[in-house]
């Protein structure tokens, strides 16, 4: 028996082998006994959920591995062009339900597990989250590999198998964030296949003699494959993660000499490299270990891909760009530019020009931020010590690159001079120092002389320099990794229309002017399987029933078919009932995790993302504080007019991010006061969900009615939670920033609560207006006063947070919290007004979901495949 599948992903006759509950049950029992090692007299009833989860997962894994092997064999036989997605982060979350759902075995497994006396939901919660990412960028990579498999695109993800993922966040009794290690592998990981036979040597340090690198230290990269099931296709893709190991397990000599610590020192040092995910979501600290991690996974991945190429095409390296493309996810993997050059020249004996030609056709680069502090720049000293041969290569790339620009730059300078003739300088006397026999002048004078005489062509060329001087530290040279990537890539893209436009005008302006065709936009997307179909089963069922097809998760534009029901009162009622169920489910989870009781009638208003000043959780909490004040000072009669709200926050602050940690504490403090205030009752609740992660997101997003996408215009590259919320029919209050703009285009701007300055107004504010501006909204002043007067305690601790947006002598309110406040409050009032008209609210909600088709990561990936990668689908035939 075969299941019929939709051909929307290009697969004509693909299918998954079907299974019945009794055979699945037998599989599970067998795995419980032989994989988990449970004694047969305890199976199944005497086992805890964790053990049963492992047995179930092991049985699902069998299905995955079978299809995985068939996919990989088939692709190897067909030898199509492959895309390799290089990313330091993959934020996968849990795998059990996603695998069961994608394999179309949910009904079968639910039934089988039920017969064993368990339920799938409980087992689901026994799985640890794979949090190998910080936030948006890492989760995007996870959505992308899901779409690649679903679209049958030959491709792999490549990354690091961190032993410890994103830290666990606990909130202490004072509301302060504590960071705890994430020991995610403690219960084993049934989703990976260790490959002890797939290893590569990775060198560090050492010296270069006549272009030959002799590393001073060598370690091993060992592969772990993680099968990635597509949906309604037989394709199962691969995420290959690398673990760092020592070349020699053990220093036997040291051991025999009784030096036990020393005997295992090498092992510890090597293992450190893949030990922990750096938990900073914006700033880089230039740490050597971080560069080591980056080079480690890039080198292993490139060696692996080149070895596979060589096995098929021996030394026909000119063919490489037709067989492989490497997408670099932000600057973290960009050492690939130098490493690919090194492998081709030093290991495969190509000449420089041939190798460079190949590199520039094989690499592509995605930028995810314009925040200057997140653009990686490595001190030449650090890079040169760790990777001396690579520094040499980068240096050469830099000088050839600048040479190639000389003519253009010369012409530009002449053009400039024509328009703007330089002031004729008075003839200068030849300085003494330059006259033969004159005594040397002091260095200072010499330097000034040079500055004055700076060649305009040199100065113009320096703008393009990959290696440049640190503007903050004279004499310290830095390697600009983003510039290296731009020069070494065939395509450079931003992640939303406005962002791709901004990078052309700002951080890559000079490069864009030289090679405008290199620059593209690829607006982000999210997988509609995990983020709608699987996390919101109620809504998914209603959509399928209404559209009369279940093909929409693979063809999300079908959701436009919901538009015609936006005004249908019966449909609206069903739509609302599902939202209400999801709210109740969330309230139960929050009760269980935090002890807070939430009513389910109020408007559920949610902001979940990394805590950052630019994302402006602060603006949100200030408006909450003012709302609290208003309710508290209102008469019982007036109180009836308030629209009840539950405001929920979730997110982690980088451990060293001073202001972000204060914001976390403030939100928690406000919650502690508001939630127990009898004057407020159910009119306002403030919840901070601890340890926000993918799992929380799957519960929060389907329940949300309003989400906050309120970054300062021009700062959020795209945002992806905005898309997930939209798919689930959640209205947006937000600025014209990132992908909010494109969402507004799809849904109709009038259906969003848009406020605040737009991107074109921000620079003028920052540069001048903000300093003079004193027109503080009295409500803003009141909210700040309440923080400062100790309403929430800790007033001294919060003082500088309050000053940061109000005292221009101490801080410059770079993210414009104060000037955007009034319009934000206006938008909040609109929210309350519309929420009282439930039919109108529901109409909009339906229109959001109906307009979310564009934000499927299938669309994004198809664009990458067509416009950058030139990779075609290769559907795997059914078993
Ligand atoms: C995010 N970047 C953007 N960086 O902020 C967000 O707007 C966008 O939607 C998303 O990428 C996907 O394109 C982001 O998440 C990081 O987390 C990096 C982690 C490593 C250090 C530097 C930041």
Note whether 107 and 186 are same-domain residues. Answer: no
More confident residue, 486 or 427: 486
Residue 534 lies in a domain: no
| Residue 11 banded pLDDT, cuts 50, 70, 90 | very low
Mean pLDDT score of the chain: 92
Give the per-residue pLDDT at 425.
Answer: 58
Give the C-alpha separation, 177 to 690, whole Å.
9
Ligand 1 mutation pick, 85, 90, 135, 734, max ligand atoms within 8 A of CB: 135
In sequence order, what are the beta bridge partners of 179?
A: 169
**CA max distance for the chain:** 101
* Residue 331 CB–ligand 1 contact under 6 Å: no
Ligand 1: centre distance to CA 503 (Å): 15
Q: pLDDT at residue 692 above 60?
A: yes
Q: In what order do the strands lie in the sheet with 155-160?
A: 193-204, 217-229, 236-246, 155-160, 82-86, 324-329, 363-366, 491-494, 519-521
Query: Tens digit of pLDDT for each residue in 511-569?
Result: 999 999 999 999 999 999 999 999 999 999 999 999 999 999 999 999 999 999 999 99
Give the per-residue pLDDT at 424.
Answer: 65
483 token code pair: 């510039």
Give the per-residue pLDDT at 445.
Answer: 40
The catalytic site residues sit at: 368, 609-610, 615, 720, 724
Note whether 744 and 864 are same-domain residues. Answer: no
**Mean local confidence (pLDDT), 494-517:** 96
Give the per-residue pLDDT at 443.
Answer: 39
Note whether 759 and 832 are same-domain residues. Answer: yes
Q: pLDDT at residue 867 above 50?
A: yes
Residue 440 lies in a domain: no
Residue 133 lies in a domain: yes
Ligand 1: centre distance to CA 244 (Å): 25
* Residue 166 CB–ligand 1 contact under 6 Å: no
Query: Tens digit of pLDDT for each residue in 160-202?
Result: 999 999 999 999 999 999 999 999 999 999 999 999 999 999 9
- The model's pTM is 0.94
Query: Tens digit of pLDDT for each residue in 102-153?
Result: 999 999 999 999 999 999 999 999 999 999 999 999 999 999 999 999 999 9
742 token code pair: 């494109």
Note whether 874 and 820 are same-domain residues. Answer: no
Give the per-residue pLDDT at 381.
Answer: 94
Ligand 1: centre distance to CA 336 (Å): 20
| Residue 453 banded pLDDT, cuts 50, 70, 90 | low
Residues spanned by the domain of 860: 80-94+129-374+485-527+856-879
Query: Tens digit of pLDDT for each residue in 817-861?
Result: 999 999 999 999 999 999 999 999 999 999 999 999 999 999 999
Contact 801, 644 (CB under 8 A): no
Ligand 1: centre distance to CA 808 (Å): 29
Q: Report the atom number in ligand 1 closest to the C-alpha of 499.
A: 7
Residue 175 lies in a domain: yes
Residue 406 lies in a domain: no
Note whether 743 and 869 are same-domain residues. Answer: no
Q: Report the atom number in ligand 1 closest to the C-alpha of 739.
A: 9
Give the per-residue pLDDT at 99.
Answer: 97
Note whether 217 and 320 are same-domain residues. Answer: yes
Ligand 1 mutation pick, 368, 608, 615, 718, max ligand atoms within 8 A of CB: 368
Q: What is the percent of the chain with per-residue pLDDT over 70, rounded to a whole number? A: 94
Ligand 1: centre distance to CA 135 (Å): 6
* Residue 134 CB–ligand 1 contact under 6 Å: yes
Q: Report the atom number in ligand 1 closest to the C-alpha of 366.
A: 13
Note whether 816 and 836 are same-domain residues. Answer: yes
Q: pLDDT at residue 426 above 60?
A: no
Q: Report the atom number in ligand 1 closest to the C-alpha of 332.
A: 20
Note whether 245 and 356 are same-domain residues. Answer: yes
Q: What is the percent of the chain with per-residue pLDDT over 90, rounded to a whole number? A: 84
Give the per-residue pLDDT at 375.
Answer: 86
| Residue 16 banded pLDDT, cuts 50, 70, 90 | low
* Residue 718 CB–ligand 1 contact under 6 Å: yes
Ligand 1 mutation pick, 369, 502, 725, max ligand atoms within 8 A of CB: 369
Note whether 561 and 698 are same-domain residues. Answer: yes
* Residue 524 CB–ligand 1 contact under 6 Å: yes
Q: Which among 65, 63, 40, 44 is positioned nearest to 53, based on CA atoms?
A: 44
Overall number of domains in the chain: 3
Note whether 584 and 692 are same-domain residues. Answer: yes
Name the residue with the closest Cα to ligand 1, atom 21. Answer: 281
Name the residue with the closest Cα to ligand 1, atom 2. Answer: 137
Give the C-alpha separation, 487 to 515, whole Å.
10
Give the C-alpha separation, 186 to 128, whole Å.
9
Residue 863 lies in a domain: yes
Give the per-residue pLDDT at 448.
Answer: 44
Torsion of CA 719, 720, 722, 724, to 10 degrees: 180
Ligand 1: centre distance to CA 337 (Å): 21
Residue 671 lies in a domain: yes
Q: Report the atom number in ligand 1 closest to the C-alpha of 140.
A: 12
Query: Tens digit of pLDDT for each residue in 290-340?
Result: 999 999 999 999 999 999 999 999 999 999 999 999 999 999 999 999 999
Q: pLDDT at residue 418 above 90?
A: no
Residue 549 lies in a domain: no
| Residue 437 banded pLDDT, cuts 50, 70, 90 | very low
Give the per-residue pLDDT at 410.
Answer: 87
* Residue 714 CB–ligand 1 contact under 6 Å: no
Ligand 1: centre distance to CA 858 (Å): 20
Q: pLDDT at residue 432 above 50?
A: no
| ipTM surpasses 0.95 | yes
Contact 215, 232 (CB under 8 A): no
């Amino acid at each position: 028996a075969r299941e019929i599948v939709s051909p929307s992903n290009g697969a004509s006759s693909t299918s998954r082998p079907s299974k019945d509950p009794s055979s699945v049950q037998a599989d599970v029992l067998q795995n419980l006994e032989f994989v988990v090692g449970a004694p047969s007299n305890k199976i199944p009833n005497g086992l805890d959920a964790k053990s049963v989860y492992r047995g179930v997962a092991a049985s699902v894994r069998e299905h995955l591995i079978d299809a995985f092997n068939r996919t990989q064999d088939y692709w190897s036989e067909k030898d199509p062009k492959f895309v390799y997605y290089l990313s330091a982060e993959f934020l996968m979350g849990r795998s059990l339900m996603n695998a069961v759902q994608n394999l179309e075995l949910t009904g079968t497994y639910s039934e089988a597990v039920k017969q064993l006396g368990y339920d799938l939901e409980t087992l689901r919660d026994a799985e640890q989250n794979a949090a190998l990412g910080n936030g948006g960028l890492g989760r995007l990579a996870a959505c992308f590999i899901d779409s690649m498999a679903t679209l049958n695109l030959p491709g792999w993800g490549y990354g690091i198998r961190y032993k410890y993922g994103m830290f666990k966040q606990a909130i202490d009794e004072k509301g302060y964030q504590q960071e705890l290690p994430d020991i995610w592998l403690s219960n084993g990981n049934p989703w990976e296949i260790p490959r002890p036979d797939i290893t590569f040597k990775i060198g560090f340090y050492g010296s270069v003699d006549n272009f030959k690198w002799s590393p001073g230290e060598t370690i091993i990269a060992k592969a772990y494959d993680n099968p990635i099931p597509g949906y309604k296709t037989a394709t199962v893709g691969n995420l290959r993660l690398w673990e760092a190991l020592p070349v020699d397990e053990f220093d036997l000599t040291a051991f025999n000499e009784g030096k036990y610590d020393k005997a295992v020192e090498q092992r510890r040092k090597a293992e450190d490299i893949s030990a922990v995910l750096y938990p900073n979501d914006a700033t880089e600290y230039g740490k050597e270990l971080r560069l080591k991690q980056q080079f480690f996974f890039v080198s292993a991945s490139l060696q692996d891909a080149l070895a596979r190429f060589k096995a098929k095409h021996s030394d026909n390296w000119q063919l490489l760009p037709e067989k492989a493309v490497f997408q670099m996810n932000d600057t973290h993997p960009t050492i690939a530019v130098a490493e690919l050059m090194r492998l081709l020249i030093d290991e495969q004996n190509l000449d420089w020009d041939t190798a460079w030609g190949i590199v520039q056709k094989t690499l592509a680069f995605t930028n995810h931020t314009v925040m200057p502090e997140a653009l990686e720049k490595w001190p030449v000293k650090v890079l040169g010590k760790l990777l001396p041969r690579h520094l040499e290569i980068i240096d050469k790339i830099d000088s050839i690159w600048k040479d190639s620009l000389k003519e253009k730059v010369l012409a530009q300078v002449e053009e400039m001079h024509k328009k703007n003739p330089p002031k004729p300088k008075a003839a200068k006397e030849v300085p003494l120092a330059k006259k033969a026999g004159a005594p040397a002048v002091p260095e200072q004078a010499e330097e000034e002389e040079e500055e004055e005489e700076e060649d305009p062509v040199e100065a113009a060329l320096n703008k393009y320099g990959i290696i440049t001087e640190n503007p903050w530290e004279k004499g310290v040279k830095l390697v600009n990794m983003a510039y290296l990537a731009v020069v070494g890539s065939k395509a450079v893209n931003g992640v939303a229309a406005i962002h791709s436009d901004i990078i052309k005008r700002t951080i890559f302006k000079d490069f864009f002017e030289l090679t405008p065709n290199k620059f593209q936009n690829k607006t982000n997307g999210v997988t509609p399987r995990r983020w709608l179909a699987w996390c919101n089963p109620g809504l998914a069922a209603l959509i399928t029933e209404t559209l009369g097809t279940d093909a929409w998760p693979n063809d999300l534009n079908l959701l436009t078919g919901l538009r015609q029901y936006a005004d249908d009162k019966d449909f609206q009622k069903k739509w609302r009932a599902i939202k209400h169920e999801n709210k109740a489910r969330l309230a139960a989870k929050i009760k269980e995790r935090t002890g807070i009781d939430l009513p389910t009638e109020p408007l559920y208003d949610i902001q979940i993302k990394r805590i950052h000043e630019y994302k402006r959780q602060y603006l949100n909490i200030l408006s909450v504080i003012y709302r609290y004040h208003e309710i508290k000072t209102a008469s019982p009669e007036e109180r009836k007019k308030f629209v009840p709200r539950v405001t929920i926050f979730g997110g982690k602050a980088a451990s060293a991010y001073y202001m972000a940690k204060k914001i976390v504490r403030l939100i928690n403090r406000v919650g502690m006061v508001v939630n127990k205030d009898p004057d407020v009752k159910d009119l306002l609740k403030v919840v901070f969900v601890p340890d926000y992660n993918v799992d929380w997101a799957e519960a929060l997003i389907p329940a949300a009615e309003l989400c906050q996408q309120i970054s300062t215009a021009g700062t959020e590259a795209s945002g992806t939670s905005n898309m997930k919320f939209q798919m689930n029919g959640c209205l947006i209050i937000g600025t014209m920033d990132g992908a909010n703009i494109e969402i507004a285009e799809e849904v109709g701007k009038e259906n969003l609560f848009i406020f605040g300055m737009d991107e074109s107004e921000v620079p003028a504010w920052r540069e001048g207006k903000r300093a003079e501006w004193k027109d503080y909204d009295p409500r803003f002043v009141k909210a700040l006063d309440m923080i400062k007067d100790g309403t929430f305690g800790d007033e001294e601790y919060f003082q500088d947070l309050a000053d940061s947006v109000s005292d221009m002598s101490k801080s410059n309110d770079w993210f414009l919290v104060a000037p955007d406040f009034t319009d934000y409050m206006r938008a909040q009032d609109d929210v309350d007004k519309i929420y009282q008209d439930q039919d109108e609210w529901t109409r909009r909600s339906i229109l959001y979901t109906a307009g979310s088709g564009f934000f499927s990561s299938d669309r994004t990936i198809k664009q990458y495949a067509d416009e950058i990668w030139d990779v075609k689908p290769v559907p795997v035939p059914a078993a």
